[in-house]
A and B are shown apart, each in its own frame.
Chain A
């Protein structure tokens, strides 16, 4: 028998019991494959280095080494500075938070201008901005190197904020422009007659309709920028590095005497912000992507 029967109105749930069991088994297997690395890191983060060395990389903790987290956070040595990951986490936050807010707000204004003001050439501008979505990161490294050098922002967090804000605009503009297309033109026309200008219409009429797409944009930008590695490792060194770049330095520094437990704890801590965003914001993300501005 075929997998369910197709009625033309979307696939129906599979009725046949053996088929259903098989499907679930495959799904669970795939999920497990994805989750194994996470499980290994989580377990190792509470095992001591000796325990891992004596037994194996994969195993249940014999003694819970919660101290790994404290060490990873504030004592561990990365490239000769023994401050733990704390300052690098702060660096990441100092890059991610402003870049997320700036790129989201600027993207909202750009999307609003493109979708609702229809100035001459709006289609061209939109095409150029969204081209950024498809350009590979590596291609942009050298131009950014030149720009950062010329404006004097090499090896600074401000430089990273600038990069992530500007590059993020491609996505945030695309998100917001598509969302704002569902706002009727007549609203803008009525407000123009009422005497409101570009920014007043944005602030009083468009922005209050925007929370769903602003949430999408914020989640997308936050996870993207926090997890970004290539720019961080290319444009910053030493104490200026974001956490993703610092983690690599951390593994390199201890190559002779592996500290898997502490390293795992550091990885978990580094991933925590985006995991939390996913846990608490995930459903708003999905909801926002499918929402329209006005019923």
Chain B
């Protein structure tokens, strides 16, 4: 059974259409991450799921029940807001138990639930403070606590970790992931952070301009992005995109990037054969371009090319090299001890098994 089904939801504010027909079907116990650039409608979608905002059209189903006419409090959801939304005049303790108070949960049960989340989120010493006396990270944990004292069908998180420092963020990320494993609730989680998306999600929904561009598991989103937008949005640095021509030769299918003496021909997997003779956009992740002797997978010698180097940026764990392939700029992630000099030429090994081809007109993935 779908824990949450969103069917063709549209939302208009005045004349601007913020959501343009969003459809998602989320299974019980799934951890769905919604990513997308600022202003693409993520918070609006969450508000519609929660019943805080009415969609212009479309339906929302929670736990198999159509909830279009159900008040937020009766939708069996808990939500963590992007702005924390802690009640300023209440102490942390009162903030956390307010929901239970409204639902007439008996006092002993309230105290028990409070103690449990306070321990989980390490906010025991803060219980008698007001929100104004807390740091950003502490506020965020209290906001999480307010949701976690409940046991709802659906958790909605709107960028709950965005204001934490790096260390606390990693800790909280693991906490949430473990929590999800333990209680098995269905969670919808909005974030800007790619690592969060890749590590936490069972499926990722990539949104852009009010539409879901792709809804798939993290590997698929990363390796087989549905279109050029997803290819460019996911991954840091993003996927390299070249305009190329696909040609069938006696030796197999190949893609040619660039013109004249700059032109580089790259052998393509046989699956690309149907596109021979077409102009395409060719996508290759930076992690598919490495130093010459890297072996991608099992096969002996892969494809290597020689290319001019524009710049090398050591980051510690790896070196990011800016190079040119067929005259077009590309990024490569090479081993940290490889640092080709700017202006030199170097050889690189390419993993063409993970190449993506996109239609230059529609931007959709074709192979």
- Smallest Cβ distance from B80 to chain A, in angstroms? 9
Q: Does A191 contact B (CB under 8 A)?
A: yes
User: Does the CB pair A187–B87 fall under 8 Å?
Assistant: yes
- A194-B98, A194-B102 given as contacts; is B89 within 8 A of A189 (CB)? no
Closest chain B residue, CB of each to CB of A205 = B87
- Smallest Cβ distance from B238 to chain A, in angstroms? 32
CB-contact partner of A193 in B52, B82, B89, B90, under 8 A? B52
User: Does the CB pair B87–A192 fall under 8 Å?
Assistant: no
Interface size (A, Cβ < 8 Å)? 18
User: Does the CB pair A192–B89 fall under 8 Å?
Assistant: no
Q: Which residues on A sit within 8 Å (CB–CB) of B82? A: 186
Q: Which residues on B sit within 8 Å (CB–CB) of A209? A: 88-89
A residues engaging B (CB < 8 A)? 184, 186-187, 189-196, 200, 204-205, 208-209, 294-295
CB-contact partner of A191 in B77, B98, B132, under 8 A? B98
User: Could you tell me the distance between the alpha carbons of A196 and B98 in the complex, rounded to whole angstroms?
Assistant: 9
User: Does the CB pair B87–A193 fall under 8 Å?
Assistant: no
- Smallest Cβ distance from B151 to chain A, in angstroms? 14
Q: Kindly identify, within residues 34 to 61 of chain B, every residue whose CB is under 8 Å from any CB belonging to chain A.
A: 47, 50, 52
Closest chain A residue, CB of each to CB of B158 = A186
User: Does the CB pair A189–B81 fall under 8 Å?
Assistant: yes
User: Could you tell me the distance between the alpha carbons of A189 and B89 in the complex, rounded to whole angstroms?
Assistant: 16
Sample 5 A-B pairs with CB under 8 A, ordered by A number. Answer: A189-B81, A190-B146, A193-B77, A193-B79, A204-B90
- Smallest Cβ distance from B158 to chain A, in angstroms? 9
User: Does the CB pair B102–A189 fall under 8 Å?
Assistant: no
User: Does the CB pair A195–B73 fall under 8 Å?
Assistant: yes
CB-contact partner of A195 in B50, B81, B102, under 8 A? B102
Closest chain B residue, CB of each to CB of A208 = B89
- Smallest Cβ distance from B335 to chain A, in angstroms? 47
Interface size (B, Cβ < 8 Å)? 24
Q: Does B135 contact A (CB under 8 A)?
A: no
B residues engaging A (CB < 8 A)? 47, 50, 52, 71-73, 77-79, 81-85, 87-90, 98-99, 102-103, 132, 146
User: Does the CB pair A189–B87 fall under 8 Å?
Assistant: no
- Smallest Cβ distance from A150 to chain B, in angstroms? 40
User: Does the CB pair A187–B85 fall under 8 Å?
Assistant: yes
Closest chain A residue, CB of each to CB of B147 = A193
User: Does the CB pair A192–B71 fall under 8 Å?
Assistant: yes
Query: Chain A contact residues: over half helix, strand or loop, or mixed?
Result: helix
Closest chain B residue, CB of each to CB of A295 = B132
Q: Which residues on B sit within 8 Å (CB–CB) of A191? A: 87, 98
User: Could you tell me the distance between the alpha carbons of A204 and B97 in the complex, rounded to whole angstroms?
Assistant: 13
Q: Which residues on B sit within 8 Å (CB–CB) of A189? A: 47, 50, 52, 72, 79, 81, 85
CB-contact partner of B81 in A186, A196, A204, A294, under 8 A? A186
Q: Which residues on A sit within 8 Å (CB–CB) of B90? A: 204-205, 208
List the 6 closest pairs (A to B, CB-CB), nearest first: A208-B89, A195-B102, A194-B99, A186-B85, A190-B85, A195-B73
- Smallest Cβ distance from A198 to chain B, in angstroms? 12
User: Does the CB pair B78–A193 fall under 8 Å?
Assistant: yes
User: Does the CB pair A192–B103 fall under 8 Å?
Assistant: no
User: Could you tell me the distance between the alpha carbons of A186 and B88 in the complex, rounded to whole angstroms?
Assistant: 12
- A190-B79, A192-B52, A195-B99 given as contacts; is B85 within 8 A of A184 (CB)? yes
- Smallest Cβ distance from A70 to chain B, in angstroms? 47
Closest chain A residue, CB of each to CB of B103 = A195
Closest chain B residue, CB of each to CB of A184 = B83
- Smallest Cβ distance from B154 to chain A, in angstroms? 11
Could you list 14 further interchain pairs (A-B, Cβ under 8 angstroms) beyond the known A184-B85, A196-B73?
A: A184-B83, A187-B85, A187-B88, A189-B79, A190-B79, A190-B81, A190-B87, A190-B146, A192-B52, A194-B73, A194-B98, A194-B102, A205-B89, A205-B90
User: Could you tell me the distance between the alpha carbons of A1 and B73 in the complex, rounded to whole angstroms?
Assistant: 68
Closest chain B residue, CB of each to CB of A293 = B88
- Smallest Cβ distance from A182 to chain B, in angstroms? 11
